[in-house]
């Protein structure tokens, strides 16, 4: 599968970007030990002037490269955690709705509708401003707005899977309905739900950046969105302070998206061949 996965150039590029990002995130404390928010030199050093500060410094004299590395940690952690949370919540709710049917299905799907009609970003914004900004709150806020897609897809899959003979077989054996739903049906409903994960990860990274940009990110962590906001005040004199984290965001989202596409495609090819 790996061989086939890396066959398309898009998938290769996406994977390379993600590997690079993961390396950055993991290596950040080793290459740039200590607090990335500490003052490292004079303020507003432009990039490529001082080789100890390759990307220069910001308004407060903080090392931009160090911030970029540590920011990768935040982006990836929030992206993955929020996607995992929304996929898990969505899959469970979608499975329950699809498997139970009737009134429970109706209630759960109307709840899904309610969440889906509110723009995801506004929901996250409201949640963070009420509960207060911290990394786990940001993750929850994003998950709150992103679980509806996985829930709908999981429900649609479950509706077709629950009619299959092996589910009838599990009932005949006397299996408890919850065990049937989560042990027999859910694992078979997962592949199309997981295909959403790249979109959700990319979306989560962007929402996190936007929240940070508005000052609603975790104040004790470096975030790319926060860096863009920080640079905004000196946009005319030092545009690189906004451009560098902005490019990092674009490249990351692109990488997640390309790798995700590659994974879905190779899964489709594999399914088609078997």
Partner 1 sequence: MAEHLLTVDGLAKRFRRGDSTVAAAEAISFHIDAAETLALAGPSGSGKSTVARLLLRLIEPDAGSVTFEGENWLALEGAPLRTHRAKMQMVFQDPLAAFNPRATVARVLDDPLRIHRIAPRAERPRRIAGLLERVGLSTDLAGRAVHEVSGGQRQRVAIARAIATKPSLIVLDEAVSALDVSVRGKILELLADLQRTDGIAYLFISHDLGLVRVFAHRVAILDGGRLAEQGDARAVIDAPQSAVGKALVAATPKLHGFTGQDAS
Supply the minimum distance, in Å, between the C-beta of residue 129 and partner 1.
44
| Least distance from partner 1 to the Cβ atom of residue 270, Å | 14
CB of 119 to partner 1, least distance (A): 38
Cβ closest to partner 1, residue 130 vs residue 172: 172
Query: CA 191 → CA 91, 154, 158, distances in Å?
Result: 11, 9, 12
For partner 1, give the closer residue by CB, 175 or 267. Answer: 175
Report the residue number, 128 or 186, with the smaller CB distance to partner 1: 186
Applying CB under 8 A, the residues found at the interface with partner 1 are 164-166, 168-176, 184, 187-188
Largest Cα separation within the chain, whole Å, is 74
Unique residue bearing structure tokens 């992206």: 79
Q: What is the smallest separation between the CB atom of 89 and partner 1, expressed in angstroms?
A: 23
If the CB atoms of residues 30 and 103 are measured against partner 1, the closer one turns out to be 103
Residue 273 buriedness (CB in 10 A; 0-12 / 13-18 / 19+): exposed
Comparison of 66 and 193: residue with beta carbon closer to partner 1: 193
Min separation Cβ 170 and partner 1, Å = 7
User: 3-class SS at 53?
Assistant: strand
CA neighbor of 200 nearest in space, from 256, 246, 251: 256
- Direct distance between the N- and C-terminal alpha carbons of the chain, in angstroms, rounded to an integer: 12
């Amino acid at each position: 599968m790996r061989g086939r996965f890396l066959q398309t150039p898009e998938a290769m590029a996406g994977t390379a970007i993600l590997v690079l990002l993961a390396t950055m995130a993991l290596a950040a404390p080793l290459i740039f030990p200590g607090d990335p928010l500490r003052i490292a030199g004079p303020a507003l050093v432009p990039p490529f002037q001082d080789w100890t500060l390759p990307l220069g410094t910001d308004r407060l004299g903080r090392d931009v490269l160090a911030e970029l590395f540590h920011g990768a940690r935040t982006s990836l952690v929030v992206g993955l955690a929020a996607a995992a949370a929304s996929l898990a919540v969505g899959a469970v709710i979608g499975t329950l709705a699809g498997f139970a049917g009737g009134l429970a299905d109706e209630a759960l799907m109307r709840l899904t509708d309610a969440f889906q009609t509110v723009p995801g970003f506004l929901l996250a914004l409201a949640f963070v401003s009420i509960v207060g900004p911290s990394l786990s709150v940001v993750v929850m806020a994003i998950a709150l707005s992103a679980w509806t897609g996985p829930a709908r897809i999981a429900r649609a899959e479950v509706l077709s899977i629950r009619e299959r003979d092996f589910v009838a077989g599990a009932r005949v054996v006397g299996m408890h309905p919850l065990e049937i739903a989560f042990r027999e049906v859910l694992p078979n409903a997962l592949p199309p739900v997981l295909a959403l994960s790249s979109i959700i990860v990319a979306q989560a990274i962007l929402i996190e950046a936007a929240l940070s940009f508005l000052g609603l990110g975790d104040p004790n962590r470096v975030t790319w969105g926060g860096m863009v906001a920080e640079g905004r005040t000196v946009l005319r004199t030092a545009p690189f302070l906004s451009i560098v984290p902005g490019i990092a965001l674009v490249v990351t989202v692109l990488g997640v998206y390309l790798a995700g596409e590659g994974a879905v495609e190779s899964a489709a090819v594999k399914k088609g061949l078997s």
